[in-house]
Structure 1
């Protein structure tokens, strides 16, 4: 597996953009996936799990923007984003070439449903993701509130190939080894974070779509859990449209109901955008 390439030197000076933030780091995880960090506006306040509009100036001189989940937690001094590369995509065909020192446009108006406020209190939190849909959960598993609100957090991540799981795997390792997190929530609480990665095309220790593995009971058997219950389980979903619908149907079969910021319930789904299929 190729070691992720991280940019370390600034690029040439670029024109100042409206709502501009400066790129501070870029990591290319695979030929399809990359992450980057940018400066954070001093006035920006957001809840872990929310998203903002970011982008670049288009060839026509107008901003080219799309919704991106903030992958960094609400306490971070910088903002992190995780993106797919689409070679002919209007935005990502350009965004994938950014370097340290470049500028991006960021509209500082965070919104989203994958937040703690949209769920009723529970004991176990499921975070279901495919592809770049792991981004909002990268924020949530680095937020101390997640560990004070729940006894167990289960992060599932399904991708086509093993290399596409690297970002999530290293993120989980970082959380479990981070001294600040240990100080804030305690080493015992960090053990509550369960990572359940699967692949659909390349051979890995756990093969299959998470939806199939839930339907046939494999997930619950692997984790020693007897299904889901509206009394104890809560869920957040971020992935492809088909994936979202399938996970929703599974959770509703266990009696969980969809919630929102205005009406907290047992699970929430981010509908502002969908990740790539797997």
Structure 2
């Protein structure tokens, strides 16, 4: 028999649908991504998050907010997750296999969307760890390339193997039929690793301060400009707090769905 436990079928609720796991990719022992079926009625904006989960030990849904990593037009929904050995949900979620049932919330939401930003020229997507997920959704959305001249994805992780989607990002989405041509001209990728040897080995805030974050934008000043730059932040609390303070000092204002601004964070993840 398979070591994979047989789980009773999940039942949908008013707030949750039951979807099928379509694929699972384990990047390393700490990180995995997976795709699930998408209901015909499910609509979301690139960058939003939704509740997903499994059945808990008490028989009730065990849920957590996850950013959708697939673009808004995709037929499947993709997610990126860490593995926590004793995590209430991730200890179970990391064992999912193709064909398993999974809960999906019916109402996606969030502020990591272009609607929450004022118009601008450069869009900086700064993420640590699984904070890359919403950026994978946004950079595969053709509309984003009409809104900004340059999109810069910055991904900070501890180890080289944590650089999920690295080959795809280094190739500037070369095989994506909807955005490959515009991404080749407008997308920049800045990976940085903090605990292993790598060509860039610093935290995001160091890259901001010494100008390396802006190395691909030679036509622009090597610093943040609140008049033309827009910034999204997702990942560790420390990075978000430190970078948000830096942006505020430069004159950036935080945006929301109700009042677009110069930068946004996901308040649902921050607390």
TM over 0.5: yes
Distance 2:150 2:47 in 1: 18
Residue correspondence of structure 1 range 35-184 to structure 2 within 5 A: 35-171=33-169, 173=171, 175-182=173-180
Please state whether the residue corresponding to 2:259 is helix, strand or coil.
coil
Q: CA deviation at 1:172?
A: 5.2
Residue in 2 aligned with 1:204? Answer: 198
Q: CA deviation at 1:222?
A: 6.2
Distance 2:182 2:18 in 1: 41
For the pair 1:217 / 2:211, whether they are aligned, the reply is yes
Preserved contact between residue 215 and residue 250 of structure 1 (Cα < 8 Å):
no
Preserved contact between residue 169 and residue 189 of structure 2 (Cα < 8 Å):
no
Distance 2:227 2:174 in 1: 28
Distance 2:119 2:178 in 1: 25
Q: CA deviation at 1:55?
A: 0.3
Q: Cα gap change, 1:67/1:254 in structure 2, threshold over 3 Å: closer, same or farther?
A: same
Preserved contact between residue 115 and residue 257 of structure 2 (Cα < 8 Å):
yes
Q: Number of aligned pairs?
A: 261
Residue correspondence of structure 1 range 14-33 to structure 2 within 5 A: 14-18=8-12, 19-33=17-31
Q: Cα gap change, 1:109/1:43 in structure 2, threshold over 3 Å: closer, same or farther?
A: same
Distance 2:149 2:61 in 1: 43
Preserved contact between residue 253 and residue 261 of structure 2 (Cα < 8 Å):
yes
Please state whether the residue corresponding to 2:258 is helix, strand or coil.
coil
Residue in 1 aligned with 2:263? Answer: 267
Preserved contact between residue 52 and residue 105 of structure 2 (Cα < 8 Å):
yes
Preserved contact between residue 36 and residue 77 of structure 2 (Cα < 8 Å):
yes
Residue in 2 aligned with 1:240? Answer: 236
Preserved contact between residue 204 and residue 239 of structure 2 (Cα < 8 Å):
no
